Chain A
């Protein structure tokens, strides 16, 4: 398929395609948590939603041999349904209490998967067919970005923003706050689930340890590092956090040290994330104002 490309690109692709796929999947995950963050909810359930999507889709492929398209859709719908069920009680909480409850939910999912027969327990699922191709990820990422961009500019986006800034004022403007919080939570679960399904079909193998606490925090870090004031930020953060460990490979043992230091520096000096349109605009204007 890559015949028409220069030889060195084929080499590059065969070595790094998994990495490029990961960037796309992580971008989807970062966007999924951006949804809940955009209405002021600190939910850490997205790794678990990803896991549900990954397992449901992989099991459907392995046991029922459903087509890849339906498997992807099911991988999105399954965690969305779970989000709908747990959303009503969990979203009554706010701030760190919501974070704790969603983390606990993540643990419940992980431990359930760890102990079930059908999920392969701690050994996970092996031999998932490699069905994901680059264009699948690119298309779904593009659709997600388009959908979220449209959402942001509509009454839904304004309602999210209003809820984030002042819940009481939003209620008194006629916004059904509980419903919109649930919408953000369920949509986030759907996107994370699709990301999980895509991931499962190019890594060949999935296990419970990929969907635990650290992964939940990683997803949050991507969004926060990139910046949550727009859609570019989460994708940028996902790319950096995926590529940085690879770029720092030459540092050997110091790799995770430098990786951590970069994160600390960004959080210290750019508290609103790397991509913050307003700051960048101000900075450009300031430079324009200077005499040459």
Chain B
């Protein structure tokens, strides 16, 4: 198996005549926090939608742990070990927090219809384990005391944390985070930075889209910069920070007077 968790090669995507991504290639190594940045409308969320199977690329290939993800349904990709959170939070609002996270355990509950109907010992044990694991994850994001609250009643920051716990419940090998610190205060950002590092220590790969430069530069090992659907720079935070093309994309061109 290659050391790269995720390989995106020559990926293009167009919606009719609108070209969103051109020839995008980069590799997310295992045990790494990888950032994807770029101005609004650069195509970052489209990259996530391609990786998770919500969209199919027009060209190119996407490999996860050496196997192609092309043509797989989104739930199959999740089962292979890719989980994500959303830019516009998508929790299950009418369910309580524990149930939300337990939905993430779905694929790990192996009982069949008979076990369910007859309430067998194996069924009860599986449900109990799922419940314990869900509670453990809620504790980890600091929401265990609200486990039986409706998700709809959570604050914005707490909803992000819940989504985080729910994504981790699928036991991913790669976690995609779409703007994880949007709407968080500086204290919460610091906590989240620690948590994301923790995730890496636990052996997960993390791949995030983020606008908060200080956060991205602080937490990521490598960064790719997307502008108008093209990768214009890739490397360590320092390399990216000093790349003239990146500075131009973000700050505009200096007039040659």
A residues in contact (CB < 8 Å) with B:
147, 150-151, 154-156, 158-159, 161-162, 165-166, 168-177
Contact = CB atoms under 8 A, between A and B. Distances in A.
Contact of B106 (A147, A151, A166, A174): A174
Contact of A162 (B78, B92, B111, B117): B92
B166 interface: yes
Contacts of A159: 103, 106
A156 B103 CA distance: 9
A150 B103 contact: no
B54 A162 contact: no
Interface string B91-124: 1111100010011111101010000110100010
A147 B117 contact: yes
B74 A172 contact: yes
* A-B complex: 8 closest residue pairs judged by Cβ atoms: A174-B107, A174-B78, A171-B74, A169-B90, A165-B92, A155-B109, A162-B103, A154-B116
Contacts of A154: 109, 111, 116, 123, 127
A155 B106 CA distance: 6
B126 to A, nearest CB: 9
A177 B78 CA distance: 13
Nearest to A278: B150
Contact of B102 (A158, A168, A171, A172): A158
Contact of A176 (B75, B91, B103, B117): B75
Given A171-B75, A171-B78, 8 more contacts: A159-B103, A161-B99, A162-B92, A165-B93, A173-B78, A173-B104, A174-B79, A175-B75
A91 to B, nearest CB: 15
A166 B127 CA distance: 23
A165 B92 CA distance: 6
B122 to A, nearest CB: 13
Contacts of B227: none
Majority secondary structure of chain A interface residues (helix, strand, loop or mixed):
helix
A174 B72 CA distance: 12
B116 A161 contact: no
A155 B123 CA distance: 11
A172 B103 CA distance: 10
A69 B103 CA distance: 38
A168 B90 contact: yes
A160 to B, nearest CB: 10
Contact of B116 (A150, A170, A171): A150
B74 A162 contact: no
B95 A162 contact: yes
B159 interface: no
A189 B119 CA distance: 24
A174 B103 CA distance: 9
B77 to A, nearest CB: 8
B123 to A, nearest CB: 8
Given A155-B109, A161-B95, A170 B103 contact: yes
B73 interface: yes
B84 interface: yes
A161 B109 contact: no
A173 B101 CA distance: 9
B170 interface: yes
A271 to B, nearest CB: 15
B32 interface: no
Interface in B75-92: 75, 78-79, 83-84, 86, 90-92
